[in-house]
Chain A
Protein backbone atom coordinates (compact mmCIF):
# COMPACT_ATOMS: atom_id res chain seq x y z
CA UNK A 1 0.00 0.00 0.00
CA UNK A 2 1.14 3.48 -0.94
CA UNK A 3 0.73 5.74 2.08
CA UNK A 4 1.00 9.51 2.40
CA UNK A 5 1.62 10.94 5.88
CA UNK A 6 0.90 14.64 6.36
CA UNK A 7 2.65 16.45 9.22
CA UNK A 8 2.43 20.10 10.15
CA UNK A 9 -1.07 20.64 11.47
CA UNK A 10 -1.12 23.49 13.96
CA UNK A 11 -0.99 21.31 17.04
CA UNK A 12 1.16 18.40 15.86
CA UNK A 13 3.63 17.76 18.68
CA UNK A 14 6.91 15.91 17.98
CA UNK A 15 5.45 12.94 19.90
CA UNK A 16 2.32 12.98 17.72
CA UNK A 17 4.41 13.14 14.55
CA UNK A 18 6.54 10.21 15.68
CA UNK A 19 3.49 8.15 16.61
CA UNK A 20 1.82 8.92 13.29
CA UNK A 21 4.81 8.02 11.13
CA UNK A 22 5.44 4.78 13.04
CA UNK A 23 1.81 3.76 12.71
CA UNK A 24 1.77 4.52 8.99
CA UNK A 25 5.00 2.58 8.46
CA UNK A 26 3.35 -0.56 9.83
CA UNK A 27 0.90 -0.73 6.92
CA UNK A 28 2.86 0.97 4.15
CA UNK A 29 4.76 -0.74 1.36
CA UNK A 30 5.76 2.68 0.18
CA UNK A 31 5.76 5.63 2.56
CA UNK A 32 5.91 9.32 1.78
CA UNK A 33 5.99 12.04 4.44
CA UNK A 34 4.70 15.43 3.32
CA UNK A 35 5.87 18.29 5.53
CA UNK A 36 3.32 21.08 5.39
CA UNK A 37 4.49 24.28 7.03
CA UNK A 38 3.62 27.94 6.85
CA UNK A 39 7.20 29.25 7.18
CA UNK A 40 10.86 28.27 6.91
CA UNK A 41 11.52 28.03 10.65
CA UNK A 42 8.60 25.66 11.22
CA UNK A 43 9.61 23.66 8.15
CA UNK A 44 13.11 23.18 9.56
CA UNK A 45 11.90 21.98 12.97
CA UNK A 46 9.29 19.66 11.43
CA UNK A 47 11.89 18.22 9.06
CA UNK A 48 14.23 17.58 12.00
CA UNK A 49 11.48 15.68 13.86
CA UNK A 50 10.67 13.62 10.76
CA UNK A 51 14.31 12.78 10.06
CA UNK A 52 14.92 11.79 13.68
CA UNK A 53 11.87 9.54 13.68
CA UNK A 54 12.82 7.81 10.43
CA UNK A 55 16.40 7.22 11.59
CA UNK A 56 15.53 6.11 15.10
CA UNK A 57 12.98 3.54 13.95
CA UNK A 58 14.81 2.52 10.78
CA UNK A 59 11.90 3.52 8.54
CA UNK A 60 12.41 4.09 4.84
CA UNK A 61 10.36 6.95 3.47
CA UNK A 62 10.65 9.75 0.99
CA UNK A 63 10.00 13.21 2.32
CA UNK A 64 8.75 16.24 0.47
CA UNK A 65 7.83 19.79 1.35
CA UNK A 66 4.41 21.20 0.67
CA UNK A 67 3.41 24.85 0.61
CA UNK A 68 -0.06 26.31 0.33
CA UNK A 69 -3.19 25.06 2.06
CA UNK A 70 -2.06 21.77 3.64
CA UNK A 71 -5.47 20.07 3.46
CA UNK A 72 -6.08 20.64 -0.22
CA UNK A 73 -2.43 19.97 -1.11
CA UNK A 74 -2.51 16.59 0.64
CA UNK A 75 -5.77 15.57 -1.05
CA UNK A 76 -4.43 16.68 -4.41
CA UNK A 77 -1.13 14.80 -4.02
CA UNK A 78 -2.91 11.64 -2.86
CA UNK A 79 -5.26 11.62 -5.82
CA UNK A 80 -2.91 12.73 -8.58
CA UNK A 81 -0.10 10.37 -7.54
CA UNK A 82 -2.10 7.26 -6.78
CA UNK A 83 -1.79 7.01 -3.01
CA UNK A 84 -4.06 4.50 -1.27
CA UNK A 85 -4.28 6.20 2.08
CA UNK A 86 -3.63 9.48 3.89
CA UNK A 87 -2.48 9.27 7.51
CA UNK A 88 -2.63 12.24 9.88
CA UNK A 89 -2.19 12.86 13.58
CA UNK A 90 -5.72 13.18 14.91
CA UNK A 91 -5.48 13.24 18.65
CA UNK A 92 -5.05 16.90 19.46
CA UNK A 93 -6.84 17.91 22.62
CA UNK A 94 -7.97 21.13 24.26
CA UNK A 95 -6.69 22.11 27.75
CA UNK A 96 -9.74 20.26 29.11
CA UNK A 97 -8.78 17.11 27.25
CA UNK A 98 -11.47 17.34 24.59
CA UNK A 99 -10.42 15.91 21.25
CA UNK A 100 -10.39 18.64 18.63
CA UNK A 101 -10.28 18.29 14.85
CA UNK A 102 -8.31 21.07 13.20
CA UNK A 103 -9.08 22.51 9.77
CA UNK A 104 -6.48 20.50 7.89
CA UNK A 105 -7.76 17.22 9.31
CA UNK A 106 -11.36 18.21 8.67
CA UNK A 107 -10.63 19.16 5.08
CA UNK A 108 -8.84 15.89 4.37
CA UNK A 109 -11.53 13.75 6.03
CA UNK A 110 -14.32 15.45 4.09
CA UNK A 111 -12.58 15.74 0.73
CA UNK A 112 -10.22 12.82 0.23
CA UNK A 113 -11.42 9.94 -1.91
CA UNK A 114 -8.73 7.74 -0.38
CA UNK A 115 -8.96 6.10 3.01
CA UNK A 116 -8.00 8.51 5.78
CA UNK A 117 -6.53 7.34 9.06
CA UNK A 118 -6.27 9.56 12.14
CA UNK A 119 -3.67 8.32 14.59
CA UNK A 120 -4.24 8.67 18.33
Chain B
Protein backbone atom coordinates (compact mmCIF):
# COMPACT_ATOMS: atom_id res chain seq x y z
CA UNK B 1 0.00 0.00 0.00
CA UNK B 2 2.84 2.37 0.80
CA UNK B 3 6.35 1.35 -0.20
CA UNK B 4 7.80 4.34 1.65
CA UNK B 5 6.85 2.91 5.02
CA UNK B 6 9.61 3.14 7.60
CA UNK B 7 10.56 0.24 9.85
CA UNK B 8 12.67 0.11 13.00
CA UNK B 9 16.28 -0.95 12.41
CA UNK B 10 16.39 -3.12 15.52
CA UNK B 11 15.04 -6.64 15.28
CA UNK B 12 12.44 -7.48 17.96
CA UNK B 13 11.83 -10.89 19.48
CA UNK B 14 12.22 -13.78 19.67
CA UNK B 15 8.53 -14.41 20.26
CA UNK B 16 6.66 -17.52 21.35
CA UNK B 17 5.23 -19.62 18.50
CA UNK B 18 1.82 -21.25 18.36
CA UNK B 19 0.34 -23.42 19.66
CA UNK B 20 0.36 -21.63 23.02
CA UNK B 21 -1.60 -22.78 26.08
CA UNK B 22 -2.11 -20.78 29.27
CA UNK B 23 -4.57 -19.93 32.02
CA UNK B 24 -5.84 -16.37 31.66
CA UNK B 25 -6.32 -14.01 34.59
CA UNK B 26 -9.83 -15.40 35.13
CA UNK B 27 -8.45 -18.98 35.24
CA UNK B 28 -9.90 -19.90 31.87
CA UNK B 29 -7.81 -22.41 29.89
CA UNK B 30 -6.96 -20.72 26.61
CA UNK B 31 -5.28 -22.27 23.60
CA UNK B 32 -3.93 -20.22 20.70
CA UNK B 33 -3.38 -22.05 17.43
CA UNK B 34 -3.35 -21.30 13.68
CA UNK B 35 -6.69 -21.22 11.86
CA UNK B 36 -7.06 -24.67 10.30
CA UNK B 37 -9.23 -23.65 7.35
CA UNK B 38 -12.21 -25.71 8.52
CA UNK B 39 -15.82 -24.59 8.31
CA UNK B 40 -16.23 -25.13 12.07
CA UNK B 41 -13.45 -22.69 12.92
CA UNK B 42 -14.71 -20.18 10.33
CA UNK B 43 -18.18 -20.31 11.85
CA UNK B 44 -16.82 -19.89 15.40
CA UNK B 45 -14.92 -16.81 14.27
CA UNK B 46 -17.96 -15.42 12.44
CA UNK B 47 -19.95 -15.89 15.64
CA UNK B 48 -17.33 -14.02 17.66
CA UNK B 49 -17.47 -11.05 15.30
CA UNK B 50 -21.26 -10.97 15.13
CA UNK B 51 -21.24 -10.69 18.94
CA UNK B 52 -18.52 -8.07 18.92
CA UNK B 53 -19.33 -4.83 20.78
CA UNK B 54 -19.63 -2.04 18.15
CA UNK B 55 -17.84 0.35 20.51
CA UNK B 56 -14.71 -1.80 20.16
CA UNK B 57 -14.65 -1.50 16.40
CA UNK B 58 -11.48 -0.06 14.94
CA UNK B 59 -11.56 1.96 11.71
CA UNK B 60 -14.63 0.17 10.45
CA UNK B 61 -13.66 -3.40 11.34
CA UNK B 62 -15.13 -5.75 12.26
CA UNK B 63 -18.08 -4.66 10.13
CA UNK B 64 -21.46 -4.50 11.83
CA UNK B 65 -23.64 -6.78 9.73
CA UNK B 66 -23.14 -10.53 9.51
CA UNK B 67 -23.02 -10.56 5.71
CA UNK B 68 -20.26 -7.95 5.78
CA UNK B 69 -18.44 -9.83 8.54
CA UNK B 70 -18.34 -12.86 6.26
CA UNK B 71 -17.11 -10.90 3.25
CA UNK B 72 -14.40 -9.36 5.41
CA UNK B 73 -13.41 -12.75 6.89
CA UNK B 74 -13.22 -14.29 3.40
CA UNK B 75 -10.52 -11.73 2.61
CA UNK B 76 -8.39 -12.06 5.72
CA UNK B 77 -8.70 -15.84 6.06
CA UNK B 78 -7.34 -16.35 2.54
CA UNK B 79 -4.41 -18.67 1.91
CA UNK B 80 -1.81 -15.91 1.79
CA UNK B 81 -2.74 -14.57 5.26
CA UNK B 82 -1.67 -15.84 8.69
CA UNK B 83 -4.38 -16.23 11.32
CA UNK B 84 -4.37 -17.30 14.96
CA UNK B 85 -7.45 -17.97 17.04
CA UNK B 86 -7.56 -17.99 20.87
CA UNK B 87 -9.91 -20.74 22.02
CA UNK B 88 -11.80 -21.15 25.26
CA UNK B 89 -13.03 -24.67 24.53
CA UNK B 90 -15.11 -24.32 21.35
CA UNK B 91 -15.56 -20.58 21.75
CA UNK B 92 -13.39 -18.21 19.73
CA UNK B 93 -12.30 -15.62 22.31
CA UNK B 94 -9.81 -13.72 20.20
CA UNK B 95 -8.20 -13.54 16.78
CA UNK B 96 -5.01 -12.07 15.37
CA UNK B 97 -4.17 -11.80 11.70
CA UNK B 98 -1.39 -10.85 9.28
CA UNK B 99 -2.52 -9.72 5.82
CA UNK B 100 -0.01 -9.17 2.97
CA UNK B 101 0.22 -5.54 1.82
CA UNK B 102 1.46 -6.35 -1.69
CA UNK B 103 4.83 -4.96 -0.77
CA UNK B 104 6.37 -8.05 0.91
CA UNK B 105 5.30 -6.80 4.34
CA UNK B 106 2.20 -7.53 6.43
CA UNK B 107 -0.52 -5.54 8.16
CA UNK B 108 -1.45 -6.80 11.63
CA UNK B 109 -4.74 -6.64 13.50
CA UNK B 110 -5.95 -8.22 16.70
CA UNK B 111 -9.41 -8.56 18.26
CA UNK B 112 -10.45 -9.94 21.64
CA UNK B 113 -14.10 -10.53 22.50
CA UNK B 114 -15.25 -8.15 25.24
CA UNK B 115 -15.70 -10.72 28.00
CA UNK B 116 -12.14 -11.98 27.41
CA UNK B 117 -10.44 -8.60 27.46
CA UNK B 118 -7.91 -7.54 30.10
CA UNK B 119 -7.07 -11.17 30.87
CA UNK B 120 -3.68 -11.39 29.13
CA UNK B 121 -5.07 -13.00 25.97
CA UNK B 122 -4.22 -10.05 23.72
CA UNK B 123 -0.55 -10.12 24.67
CA UNK B 124 -0.26 -13.84 23.88
CA UNK B 125 -2.25 -13.41 20.64
CA UNK B 126 0.05 -10.71 19.32
CA UNK B 127 3.33 -12.23 20.53
CA UNK B 128 2.54 -15.68 19.16
CA UNK B 129 1.40 -14.12 15.86
CA UNK B 130 4.74 -12.32 15.56
CA UNK B 131 6.51 -15.61 16.37
CA UNK B 132 4.38 -17.34 13.76
CA UNK B 133 5.12 -14.65 11.18
CA UNK B 134 8.84 -14.78 11.91
CA UNK B 135 8.85 -18.58 11.49
CA UNK B 136 7.13 -18.12 8.10
CA UNK B 137 9.84 -15.72 6.90
CA UNK B 138 8.08 -12.37 7.40
CA UNK B 139 10.54 -9.51 8.04
CA UNK B 140 8.36 -6.49 8.75
CA UNK B 141 4.87 -5.94 10.14
CA UNK B 142 2.87 -2.71 10.48
CA UNK B 143 -0.49 -1.59 11.77
CA UNK B 144 -2.60 1.49 12.23
CA UNK B 145 -4.39 2.39 15.44
CA UNK B 146 -6.64 5.23 16.48
CA UNK B 147 -4.49 7.61 18.53
CA UNK B 148 -6.92 7.75 21.46
CA UNK B 149 -6.79 3.96 21.89
CA UNK B 150 -4.13 4.05 24.61
CA UNK B 151 -4.67 0.44 25.73
CA UNK B 152 -3.90 -0.84 22.24
CA UNK B 153 -0.95 1.51 21.71
CA UNK B 154 0.57 0.37 25.05
CA UNK B 155 0.19 -3.27 24.08
CA UNK B 156 1.89 -2.69 20.73
CA UNK B 157 4.73 -0.75 22.35
CA UNK B 158 5.20 -3.46 24.96
CA UNK B 159 5.94 -6.09 22.31
CA UNK B 160 8.29 -3.82 20.35
CA UNK B 161 6.24 -1.76 17.89
CA UNK B 162 7.50 1.76 17.27
CA UNK B 163 5.48 4.71 16.03
CA UNK B 164 6.50 5.28 12.41
CA UNK B 165 3.81 7.67 11.25
CA UNK B 166 2.10 10.23 13.43
CA UNK B 167 1.07 12.80 10.85
CA UNK B 168 -2.28 11.38 9.84
CA UNK B 169 -5.56 10.60 11.64
CA UNK B 170 -4.42 7.14 12.66
CA UNK B 171 -1.12 6.34 14.30
CA UNK B 172 1.05 4.02 12.21
CA UNK B 173 3.30 1.61 14.07
CA UNK B 174 5.79 -0.98 12.80
CA UNK B 175 8.04 -3.76 14.05
CA UNK B 176 10.96 -5.64 12.51
CA UNK B 177 11.11 -9.43 12.99
CA UNK B 178 14.21 -10.07 10.87
CA UNK B 179 16.88 -8.28 8.83
CA UNK B 180 15.97 -7.60 5.20
CA UNK B 181 16.74 -10.54 2.91
Taking Cβ atoms with an 8 Å cutoff, the residues of A that contact B are 93-103, 106
Interface residues of B in 98-140 (CB under 8 A from A): 99-102, 107-109
Query: What's the tally of chain B residues with a CB closer than 8 Å to chain A?
Result: 22
Chain B residue at smallest Cβ distance from A10: B2
Q: Which of B72, B101, B108 contacts A97 (CB 8 A)?
A: B72
Contact with A along B151-174 (1 / 0, CB 8 A): 000000000000000011110000
Taking Cβ atoms with an 8 Å cutoff, the residues of B that contact A are 1, 58-61, 63, 72, 75-76, 97, 99-102, 107-109, 144, 167-170
Q: Distance (Å) between the CB of A33 and the closest chain B CB?
A: 25
**CA separation between A93 and B109, bound complex, in Å?**
14
**CA separation between A20 and B75, bound complex, in Å?**
25
**B169 touching A98, Cβ below 8 Å:** no
Which of A98, A99, A101 has the largest number of chain B CB atoms within 10 A? A98
**A98 touching B168, Cβ below 8 Å:** no
Chain B residue at smallest Cβ distance from A101: B169
**B60 touching A93, Cβ below 8 Å:** yes
CB-CB nearest 10 A-B residue pairs: A98-B59, A99-B60, A101-B169, A96-B107, A99-B59, A95-B99, A95-B101, A95-B107, A96-B99, A97-B61
**CA separation between A102 and B165, bound complex, in Å?**
12
6 residue pairs bridging A and B, Cβ less than 8 Å apart: A94-B101, A94-B144, A95-B107, A96-B99, A98-B61, A100-B170
Chain A residues near B59 (CB-CB < 8 A):
94, 98-100
**CA separation between A101 and B102, bound complex, in Å?**
20
**B169 touching A96, Cβ below 8 Å:** no
**B97 touching A102, Cβ below 8 Å:** no
